């Protein structure tokens, strides 16, 4: 999976550089979350700007990251959801669970 991470104002911003977040690559994202929380990172922001499709495995990886964040007294927020991806979050009602922002900049302001 192609991921880029950077630290901006105390937040680890993970840029997912894939068009699909599905059964083929979601385990890698889940592992990345585990590594970051184990290393002491607390506030993660996932930039999904390039993701055009997400399935239940991709959603599961994000939910797993959210649970790790809660356990670590941290946060996992999402930014830049494409319309198809946003619609999946609304369909599964996960938009009520995650903090979702229009852009990475907006998420970092809050």
Cβ neighbours of residue 88 closer than 8 Å, sequence gap 6 or more? 54, 59, 94
Distance, in Å, from the CA atom of 105 to the CA atom of 63, rounded to the nearest integer, reads 23
Q: What are 30-88's pLDDT values in tens digits? A: 999 999 999 999 999 999 999 999 999 999 999 999 999 999 999 999 999 999 999 99
Distance, in Å, from the CA atom of 25 to the CA atom of 20, rounded to the nearest integer, reads 8
Reported CATH class of domain 3-109: alpha beta
Q: What angle do CA 87, 81, 59 make, to 5 degrees?
A: 65
Instruction: For strands 11-16 and 43-47, give the pairing.
Output: parallel
């Amino acid at each position: 999976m192609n991921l880029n991470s950077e630290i901006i104002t105390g937040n680890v911003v993970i840029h997912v550089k894939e068009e699909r977040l599905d059964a083929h690559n979601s385990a890698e994202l889940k592992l990345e979350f585990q590594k970051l929380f184990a290393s002491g990172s607390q506030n993660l922001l996932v930039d999904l700007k390039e993701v055009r499709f997400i399935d239940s495995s991709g959603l599961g990886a994000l939910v797993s990251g959210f649970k790790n964040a809660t356990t670590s007294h941290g946060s996992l927020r999402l930014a830049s959801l494409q319309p198809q991806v946003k619609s999946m979050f609304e369909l599964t009602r996960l938009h009520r669970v995650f903090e979702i922002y229009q852009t990475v900049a907006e998420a970092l302001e809050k």
